[in-house]
Structure 1
Amino acid sequence: MIERSFINKFLISSVIIILLFTFIGCSDSSTVNSQNKPNQKTTQSSVSKSVAGTSQIKDSGNSVTTSPIKLQKAKVTHHTDGDTIGVMLENGQYEKVRFIGVNTPESTTKHEQYGEQASNYTKSQLYGKTIYLESDAGTTDKYGRLLRYIWISPPTAINESEIRSKMFNAILASNGYAEQMTIQPNIKYADYFRKFCGEARENKRGLWGVNPNGTTKGDGISSPSSSSSSNYQSTSPSNSESYTPRSDSSSGSSNNSVSENGGILSSSGNGKIKGNINSKGEKVYHLYGDLYYNRTKAEEYFDTEAQAQAAGYRPIKK
């Protein structure tokens, strides 16, 4: 009787042990399957990551636009003139941005025909808006401004239709607010800008209606022949050089005339600070009363030394 009771207890204990092992095995299998299953949330969130050469951009409604080019999102917080703005990047950093490939008439330190119209147009179209910046081979100019193409919305393809309707540089050219200004190495869209400016000129739109030869004289950015650097940095002058100004051959008098576009054409510039590019190609400025002031040809005029220095000029060595 005792032996039968012992056998029954042994059998019951064996069954319990088998059931326990079976339960533990199923639990482990479930855990392994759970660990191997892809995390759906992680997979979905990866859609906003950038791929080299492309951008996947979320708008305020979380819809995603895939662009074939790499773009940097920014908000326009400041306005300078027709081809220069200030932006706040997504990381909170403020940058000045100079548009690549086009040049609008001046409206700040000097006033060129159609300059105010171009400046007001850019402000009305971009100020306070979200834009998308595309860089080319060169990243900044000698003033430290970012050199960028400005997209008002991400392009879905790179073709004439998208460029004409979504790139603000091209819109300025097409509507006659800017002339083409191609500077190596930033030439990605140069052929488009040439075509759009040609159309505007042929149809006398904007500045081309004011003057068939255009109205701009450039804004001091280096020409292709003067620099092959992507940063367009100017060369620092030697402290020991002698100064030789480029003279105005027409007169040595203080009554030289000066045009709105710079140069000796109208007496309205008398007494102002003269910005001059000397025989060595250096940008210097003269205060009224300086030794060479009266016989120096002015490339630009300034009201203050701060304006001259901001435009890249240095004082003459006395």
Structure 2
Amino acid sequence: MNVSQRRIVMFGIALLVVFSGCAEVNDSIAPTESPASSVNGSFTETASTPEFNLSAASGTRVTVVEVIDGDTINIQYENGTVETVRLLGVDTPETAVTQTTPDEWQSVPTSADGRDWLASWGTQASAYTTDRLANEEIIIIFDPVSDRRGYYDRLLAYVYYSPSATTSFNMRLLENGYARHYESEFSRTKEYKKTAQQARDTATGVWGDNISSPEQTSAVSHPIDILTVHEDASGNEYDNLDDEYVLFKNTGTSRIQLNGWTISDKAGNLYSFPAGVIINPGESMTLYTGSGSNSDTELYWGKREPVWDNDGDTVIITNHDGETVTTYSY
């Protein structure tokens, strides 16, 4: 091989190396969606990775510009982009009777009564979401296992009230009986299934036991039952007082005015129900230890420290005459 031939061969090898390097660089570039401002100002919506942090502090701050129904909202990023978000892992009933699907709701009869019941709770779920999220700044988080988008190209996400929140709004819908667990692939499936089952077991919200026979009378002398006490809040209890709560239900057939009623523990902590609080037949109500805005189904004690003893306690509910209506020990 003469000098000219050797030069041609060397030039060819150099070209192969250059093109090979370029190919590797192009293959390593993953497509990303439009950047969105985050809580810490550095978040960009990209494909999820196994290292994804599901805490609210890692999410994206957005503003709710419209509540479509109980599980669907329109949000706006700080850059002005508007997206529709379907709350991941939950499904609230449709508000139109003709669009309800009783066969998807365990224990709800596939009858006219069942459809009417679901439509009623669909309306209540929409009102619940509107009351808490409309025009509010919230945090959205995407799941590392779930698809980023679902039907109709809607974003699938968890919604949190604030970066410090530890319980998602999705979970609140399940806990208070406004939604069922929606079967899909996401990392919190087991947790959501368990919570939905607890709501069914306690006949909370849409799972109430007076669907087809609201005229039936209560078999108990006192129509308020304590369903559960969640005394052990996750993480640091002092920083997560809204994860400590008491859930109770009106098991009678008449609505009850709770003016003058109290809830207390064996240590003497006493909560007095504010004026105007009413619990309807079959309705459940939650009293959270921490602070928040009261609603028809959620009350906040406003305490700065935990109330319910993790090692065992007694919940006592008294009426306006000071008579003990019910007690619950755990």
Larger strand proportion of the pair? 2
What TM-score bracket applies, with the shorter chain setting the length? 0.3 to 0.5
Q: Whose radius of gyration is greater, 1 or 2?
A: 1
